Amino acid sequence: MEEMLADEAAYEFVMTFLEQVQNLVSHRLELFLGPEDVERLLGPRSAVGWKTLAEFWAAVAAWCADNRPPLESSEEILSVRNEQLRAMLWTGNRTLPTGAKLGLADAVRYEKATGAGIPGFSHIAAALRAMGQD
């Protein structure tokens, strides 16, 4: 990841990967390392990306708390048994310390409402790609 981050063309790929790892470890499941453990393993460039993503998602959570109905619990996505669906849900959503779930739709709403995002990395573009509309 460190070498890839030196190449601007790989930035979006690396940030997507780091975000999916952050989402996965946010669920604090026994099978995976915790967020703090992963963060200690990162190189300097990856650590900056990790921090940028964490700050973005903290802003999304704060915005949701002020502007949206209460967030749903992540319990439902954590209990999914189908491995393929579980992989998509666990890497596409994150569990907040409160147990609430944030996902791509929340990030898109935040970006559209505030115009704030991560430079060079758009959740709106990611959502369009996921729908095959890129």
- Report pLDDT digits (tens) over 82-120: 989 988 898 999 999 999 999 999 999 999 999 888 877
* DSSP string for residues in 85-97: HHHHHHHHEEE-T
Single-letter amino acid, residue 121? F
pLDDT of residue 106: 94
pLDDT of residue 67: 94
- Report pLDDT digits (tens) over 12-45: 888 999 999 999 999 998 888 888 999 999 999 9
Q: Which long-range contacts (CB under 8 A, 24 or more apart) does 66-72 make?
A: 67/113, 68/106, 68/109, 70/100, 71/96, 71/100, 71/101, 71/102, 71/106, 72/100, 72/101
> pLDDT class for 131, splitting at 50, 70, 90?
low
> pLDDT class for 121, splitting at 50, 70, 90?
confident
- Report pLDDT digits (tens) over 46-83: 999 999 999 999 999 999 999 988 999 999 999 999 98
